[in-house]
Chain A
């Protein structure tokens, strides 16, 4: 079945450590996105990518990094520079044209302990 998969579902990290969240899609979508959601809040865009080996900063990129070495994969690294990393992280993908919907993974809930 086609879809977008995020792993792990729950992740615990010690303060000061980097951690990488996985996002894989087999929908043959060009565009991929990472969002952060805090309790009771909307989705804030971290990074997005339209094509392989290219990506752009979203509204809250500080403390995060991404790579897009393959079309189907868009991993997000939460670095130690991110001051408040505890949040719900959502990955999405779309065909990349303006008139197409985005499909979401089930999300990764990151907690810093």
Chain B
């Protein structure tokens, strides 16, 4: 199993809809998780951190399922500006912290 796996999409979703995508991870000892947003030809920027069961920030909700080893990102009332690639990050501590990214999920919001 890969350290971090994401559905690459693309997800094409009408404006105003709710969309969710998952990220699975292999290291059951992982304690923290992050969702980043990357716009085309730009650097990734932090969207949300997840340390316990979940986190909510406005229209965005991240949830952690430790038993099944995945985190999810839910976007409600999607806006055109939400179109981006969403990257899941799971720090891997193998003596030295290795920061592993998923391949990213591409989201396009359609007017």
Contact = CB atoms under 8 A, between A and B. Distances in A.
A, B bound: yes
Nearest to A109: B41
Contacts of B106: 40
Interface in A10-37: 31, 33, 35
A101 to B, nearest CB: 5
Contacts of B43: 90, 104-107
Interface string A47-90: 01010000010100000000000000000000000000000101
B98 A45 contact: yes
B89 A102 contact: yes
A41 B103 contact: yes
B98 A42 contact: no
B59 interface: no
Interface residues of B, number: 26
Contacts of A43: 44, 87, 101, 104
Interface string B7-35: 00000000000000000000000011010
Interface of A: 31, 33, 35, 40-45, 48, 50, 56, 58, 88, 90, 92, 94, 96-99, 101-102, 104-107
Interface of B: 6, 31-32, 34, 41-46, 49, 51, 87, 89, 91, 93, 96-104, 106
Given A48-B96, A48-B99, A99-B32, 10 more contacts: A35-B101, A40-B106, A41-B104, A42-B6, A43-B87, A90-B44, A98-B93, A104-B43, A106-B42, A107-B42
8 A-B pairs closest in CB distance: A42-B103, A104-B43, A43-B101, A99-B32, A42-B104, A101-B46, A98-B91, A50-B96
